Structure formats: structure tokens, C-alpha cells
Chains A and B, each alone.
Chain A
């Protein structure tokens, strides 16, 4: 008999447009000591399964069919009182965000002891000893001292260890981990996964590990279930699923993960993802409006040249200048980008890479340094009229597809706005035609024009964002983490699109990302940033094969590598 078995599970959410089925026909068996990974993209129903097991489906969601058995006993029909006893006692839950799953106004000890006394019927002194022991087990140094501290005194990784200790303190024999490392840095992620793996084996507990990250699955899970649209499309040994997948969806999902180890030309065309018309050949870009006006700047010189660019932000506002405090976000950064080149900027959050993008595109005024664009120093231009022709030549694609489009405007008006503002079309009907062509070029089709942004998915919105950026016929595109809010298969599509456009329109691109494999697939040269400083610049292949700066080597060693048979 297996530890946990799920048979024919169906979860539905009644809405006023009918029932939305979040998961259907789900059959799972988990043995003691086994880690089962559930992988899939957002909306596939992974978390729904976890929530159904511990009876915490978000209202008005409900289990419509099926049964869930723990140790052979059905647990899906228990009343609230018995379910509460079961949670913690027999089933532990680890959530995604360590910042919000601990109570900030209580010490770690108070939270642990309360849980232990409740579930293990110990007195307070015993519970305190047990709590210290739990912290030791999750490798927190000096547990006797640390236990008296509050959550904010712990780092993100340490906090996730506390959350794990909390989930395990009543010695459950089944654990659900829902994206346990998604909010953590790569280095911390590796340690936490190792810890969870070890604890599972040592305590002979079964675990469901829910994640969107193939790398996490490859490193941790014994078996893996692939979910798509509420259904499990494939389940089996990790090595077999990742190395020789049977199902088309699994194949396309795996092929969409950017490879860290070598540069490929394009991502193989991923089927099974949201329908996007292929970037239309209807439009011959070399003769089209979009391809015209190539006469800007000389092609052999540097497109962009930054000299000792500096930016400080006010961290304390005050009415009088002398009372203000400042933070240096970018410190004397200099680099140049050649015409037609894709230049990557990589670094952790807070390293200043987005600030540089915003200074180049004129959202922020730099506090020092020069920005030479096609030979002209933009920081010397005073009036909006002087800057306008240069602004037109550089556009930006933003990170968050949900906030980068004005939800109150039609797609047509969003894309047409830059054309109308810069008077790039003679008449309204010409402008309309250009907008339709742009939407075709990014693979959305004419019909998208009269819709509003909320009618599109994240990936489609990012296409709209790209269409808007192309609408001024720019020569230079700044892409600030254009795919980090997207699922991998959508990311592959968007990166393919950007590559195609770059080649056909001979665009110069500044590509900003924290994701090294993506940088490797996209860029010709890369700059590495930390704490507002540029540490090294080199050709992409050199950087990945022979990093010169110590920090780069560290970043590369933390890059998740998942080895499976080549595809």
C-alpha cells in the first residue's frame, strides 16, 4: 500500500460563466521516502492538487470527484476539526514565500513551540528542547541563540529553513512543498533542495514537490509528473521523463528550456503552447515601412557609447536639499555597443542594470557622465525638441507584460500612439495599416487590434509591447528582462521573435537579464554588473568558457545545470 494515493481527482471552481475545471482525472501514488515532482506551467493545476490534499482549496473551489487516501484511509471527506489535526501531524506544508509564511511579530521559538505543543502533546519545556533540535536538523547554526530571534533577523534562505523546520516539527510522514525555492537566489536554492532531499530520506517521508523549474526537478525528484491544462500528461522516473519524454508537451517543454552549455540558433519550434501565428511572411520587411529609414547613424561606428555614467537616488526625502540622503545605484559605468550588436547586461537584482536602461531611454536623468547615441551626447541636449529624433530611434521592451500596457486603451491605440505622436504616417488609414502589419509581424494578427490588453495572456501582451516598441522604427531596442515574467515555452517564443526581428531589421539590442542561459542564447557580448559597477565585459562564448572576474565564475558555478540525454 502506498503512503498517499489519489484516484480520479477532479477539482472545479464554479464561476458565473460556468464551472472552471482546474484539475481532472488525476491519479497519483507516492511511496514513503519518495519525492514526486509535479512540473508544469502557470495555470496547469499543480498547486490545486497540493491544496486539495490538505483541504485548503481556495473558495469557492471544491473537489467534484475522486478520492485521496493517506495510509489507506480517505482524508478528503474529513470534517474541519479532524483535517486540522491531520495538517502538521501527518502532512506538512512548505510554501513559496518565506517572507510571508512566518509571523513577523513572534519569535521563531514562539511559533515552533506553539505548533509542537499543539500536535505532539508535549509540555512547554519539552517542546522548547524539541524546537531547538528541529532547527539543528535544518542546519541552522547556533540554534539555541537563533531560536530567540524574530523572522526579520534571518536571511531569505535561513527563513525558508525555519519554514521547513516548522513544517517538519510534528514529524509528518507526508510533505507538500509548493515552489519552495522560487523566491530564493540560486545559491541558496541548491542548499535548500539538498536539505529537503536529505530530510525526506532520513525520515522516510514522502514528498510532493511542485515547481515550474525543470532544473529543480532534475536535481531533486525521484519521479516526475508533467501537468498540462489540469491533466497529468506523463508520469515516470525523472531520468526517463527528462531524457526521453514520450508526450509531445513534455518534449516541447524541455526543448524550450534555454541551454546553459551551448549556443543554439533558435529554440526548436515549440508546439503545444498558446496559439501564435508564425511571424508573418505576409510582410516583406526589407521593403516595408518598418524596414525604411536606415539612414540613421553610420553602421560601422558605435551605436551607443556610455562614458562614466553615474546615478544616485534620494533615499530620504526632505524639503531642504541638505537634509536628503542618497544612494549610488550606478557608479561610473562605461561601455559601448556596436551597430547591429546584441549586448547583454547580467547581474543580480539591485545591481543597477535596469537603472542604466532607464537612463539611456531618458526615463531617469543621470547625475553624471555622458550618453553618446549615434555620435551625439544626449545629456547635452536641453529641449524636448532636440531629443525627440533620438528618442524615436531607441525604444524599450519592459519586464512586466501586465503593467506595461495601459489597460484602458485598445491595442490599436496603444501601438498607434508612437506613430501618431512622431507623425510617422501621413493619414489615419495609413497608420491603421501600419498597426495591422506590426501586429502581424509579432504574430498576433489583425483581430487583436480592437481588443483591450486584459483579453490577452502574458506572452501575447509581451508581443503587443514589442509591436509598440517597433512602431517608431527604432534602430536600437532596450529589452529589460523581457521574458522573466513568462513561462519557459512562452519565453522561447518571445526570444525567437526577438532574434528574428533583430536579424531582419538589423536592430541593435541592449538585453538585460539575470538569467545566464538566456543571455548565452541571445547576446554577442556581455557585461557583468554588481552593486552598480561593471565588473567585466567580454564576448559571450569567452565569458561562459573563460570567465576572468571571480564574481562571474561564482555566478556561472551557481547556474542550474540539468543533464539529460541531448535533444
Chain B
């Protein structure tokens, strides 16, 4: 058995070496914008994940909120308080803590909806491309119909259906899941189309035929052989879609159909701030806005770099 273990160790080492010698690693360290974006994205993601630990207040804990402190400007301004670095919102919540928790929700919605639409889209794309014929026609026409609506409209539609179907209090409770599903359903088409065309190119290759000659059933050929070979573009779409999903969530929340003000995401915060913008309390919407831009931009830059790095024509 020791020989088998040895080869496992060797293969692990080889894998690490492969990554280090790989083109992706190389191109990453030669792209300043990718490094910059990665740093920003990591900082945002880590501070969002550890928000309960690093944020000075818990904005969801009503006991810590004092309405007397409502609408305080940032600490460096004349009326600002030392206690609240970026000021407070209309309910007296510390804005910095609220942004960290809001970014946490935004990222959660983003990642969850990307994963759901990725699984849905890649699955349908694999079936559509491999089976072909009528199945393909039906799936792709549904995709075409959906593509003719803006993503935000689809998300509104899905959200609307849940609002009608669920009682009000239940809906508030499930708002997070409803919005994840709504964004996920609006985004699967990109994955399905890309995967379908890659599958059609892959399935005529001889390694797929070799699998057929061995006698492997279709689902094994699809999952074990074709899927790993079509995942490159999917990763790129996934990254760019992550930024888009965060923005759609913010838009929905801004429109008031997203997350409720009790558990505010970045979009909800911007909406709350928007109501006070003309009474001079600009900081309530500006700082969450900046956080949103930085988060979306860094993820987008990463996606752009990944797209170029994986494109053999641009190497």
C-alpha cells in the first residue's frame, strides 16, 4: 500500500507545482489590476464574513441602538460623535457596522444566486448540447424568450409571484431566499447558452467517442468527461455574474422589493439614505454606495482578468 500512498503524495506535489507553473498563476502576477482587485475583493469578503467580530456595534440588536443618536454625521465633522466613525442612520444604527453587515448580506445573496443559476444553467446547457434535437430546441427557445426581458424585470416578476403566493409576515421572513431565487432564475440563460455551445464542440471530439466505445452511459460521459472541459468559460461568467447579482440585489432593495429595513443590505441602506438626501444627511446613502461600487468593481475586474487569462487568443 505504501507505493500507492507515495504516488498520492507525488501527485499532490505535482498538482501544486502545476498551479505554480501554470499560465493562470503567471498572468495573475503580471496583471496589476488583477492583484489590486483581488486585494480589495478579499478585504471586502473577509470583513463581510467576519462582520459580527470586527464591527463595533451589532445593528440588528435593538438594545444597542439609541434613537437619540439618529442621523449623526461622520466623526470628523463638527456635530459628529467619536463613537460613530461613519455616522449613524435614521434609526441611530452605526453606519460602519451596518455597511459591514449589509455587505455580508449582499455577498450572501450574490454567491447563493450565482451558485443556483450556475447549477441550473450548466445542467440545462449540458442536456441541451448533448441530447440535441427537440430537447435542445425547447430549452433554447425558453432561453430566448427569457433573454428578451431585462434581468431586473424577471427578478421583479419572480419576487411578485412569491409576494402573492406567501402571506405577508411569512414573506418578510423568507425575503432573503425569495430574492436569491429571483436573481438566480434571471441569470441561468448565460450559463446555459455558453455551456451548450461548448458541449456541442466537445461532444464530437474523439475522447467522448472513446467513452461511448467503452460503453459508458451518457450521464457518466457528460459529468466525468464533458463537464470538466466546459467549465473554463463558466467560471468567467460566474465571476462577472457575481458582480451583476450584487447590483441586482441592491437595485431590488433600492426599489423596496428586496431586503426589509430591519435587516438592511447595501441597497436597502442606499434607499433609506435617499429619503434623507435632500435634508442634508448625505452620508447615509453615500458610504453604502461607495462600498457597493468598490465591491462590484473589484469582482468585475477579477472577472475581466480571468476572461482574458483563459482566452487562448489573447495570450
Which A residues are within 8 Å of any B CB, using their own CB?
16, 319, 358, 361-363, 384, 387-388, 391-392, 394-396, 398-400, 403-410, 417-418, 421-422, 428-429, 432, 449-450, 465, 468, 472
Chain B window 174-213, contacts with chain A (Cβ cutoff 8 Å), 1 for yes, 0 for no: 0000000000000000000000000000000111011111
Inter-chain contact total with CB atoms closer than 8 Å: 73
Taken together as a complex, chains A and B put the C-alpha atoms of A407 and B217 apart, in Å, by 20
- In B211-249, the 8 Å CB interface with A consists of 211-217, 220, 225, 228-229
CA distance A408 to B1 in the complex (A): 26
Task: State the Cβ distance, A164 to closest chain B Cβ, in Å.
Answer: 31
Given contacts A429-B1, A449-B7, contact A363 B214 (CB under 8 A): no
Contacts of B210 in A (CB 8 A): 396, 398, 404-405, 465, 468
Do the beta carbons of A421 and B214 come within 8 Å of each other?
Answer: yes
In the complex, the answer to whether B217 meets A384 with C-beta atoms within 8 Å is: yes
Q: Is the CB of A363 within 8 A of B216?
A: no
> Are B206 and A403 in contact (CB-based, < 8 A)?
yes
Residues of B contacting A468 in the complex (Cβ-Cβ under 8 angstroms): 210
B206:A410 contact, CB within 8 angstroms: no
The interface residues of chain B lying within 8 Å CB-to-CB of A422 are 214-215
B window 237-294: CB within 8 A of A: none
Chain B positions within 8 Å of A, measured between CB atoms, are: 1, 4, 7, 10-11, 14, 26, 134, 137, 205-207, 209-217, 220, 225, 228-229
Nearest neighbor of A400 in chain B, beta-carbon distance: B206
Residue on B nearest A314 in the bound complex, by CB? B133
Contact A363-B229, Cβ < 8 Å, known A16-B26, A404-B207: no
The CA of A450 and the CA of B9, in the complex, are separated in Å by: 11
Interchain CB contact under 8 A, B229 and A450:
no
B213 lies within 8 A of A391 (CB): yes
Chain B residue nearest in CB terms to A432 = B4
A-B CB contact pairs (8 Å), 5 listed? A391-B214, A396-B209, A404-B206, A404-B207, A421-B216
Q: Which chain A positions have C-beta within 8 A of B207?
A: 403-406
Report the Cα distance A409→B210, complex, angstroms: 14
* Partner of A450 from B11, B213, B225, B228 at Cβ < 8 Å: B11
A409 to B206 Cα, complex, angstroms: 15
Question: Whole-angstrom distance from the CB of A333 to the nearest CB of chain B?
Answer: 20
- The residue that A399 contacts in the complex, of B11, B134, B206, B217, with Cβ under 8 A, is B206
- Least CB distance, B282 to chain A, in whole angstroms: 50
B212 A362 Cβ-Cβ under 8 A: yes
**Is B134 a contact of A319 with CB atoms below 8 Å?**
yes
Q: Contacts A408-B229, A429-B4: A395 and B213 contacting too (C-beta < 8 A)?
A: yes
B220 contacts which chain A residues (CB < 8 A)? 421
Question: Is B213's CB under 8 angstroms from A363's CB?
Answer: yes
Q: Give the CA-CA distance A486 to B139 in the complex, in Å.
A: 41
Give the distance in Å from the alpha carbon of A450 to the alpha carbon of B10 in the complex. 8
Q: How far is the CB of A397 from chain B (nearest CB, A)?
A: 9
Are B215 and A421 neighbours in the complex by a CB distance under 8 Å? Answer: yes
Given known A-B contacts A16-B26, A406-B229, A449-B7, A363 and B209 have beta carbons under 8 A apart:
yes
- 13 further contact pairs, Cβ within 8 A, besides A391-B213, A403-B207, A409-B225: A16-B26, A384-B215, A384-B217, A395-B213, A396-B209, A404-B205, A404-B209, A408-B228, A418-B214, A421-B214, A421-B215, A428-B4, A429-B1
* Measured CA separation A319–B138 after assembly (Å): 10
> CA–CA, A405 to B10, complex, Å?
22
Chain B residues closer than 8 Å to A363, beta-carbon distance: 209, 212-213
Contacts of B217 in A (CB 8 A): 384
Q: Which residues of A contact B206 (CB under 8 A)?
A: 398-400, 403-404
Task: Determine the distance from Cα of A16 to Cα of B134 in the docked complex, in whole angstroms.
Answer: 48
Bound CA–CA A422/B215 (angstroms): 9
Q: Identify the interface centre among B1, B216, B217: most chain A CB within 10 Å of its CB.
A: B216
Report chain B residues within 8 Å CB of A418. 214
User: Which of A319, A392, A406 is close to B137, meaning CB atoms less than 8 Å apart?
Assistant: A319
Known pairs A403-B206, A404-B206; A472 contacts B212 (CB<8 A): no
Given the interface pairs A410-B11, A429-B4, A450-B10, the reply to whether A358 lies near B215 with Cβ below 8 Å is: no
A395 — nearest CB in chain B belongs to which residue?
B213
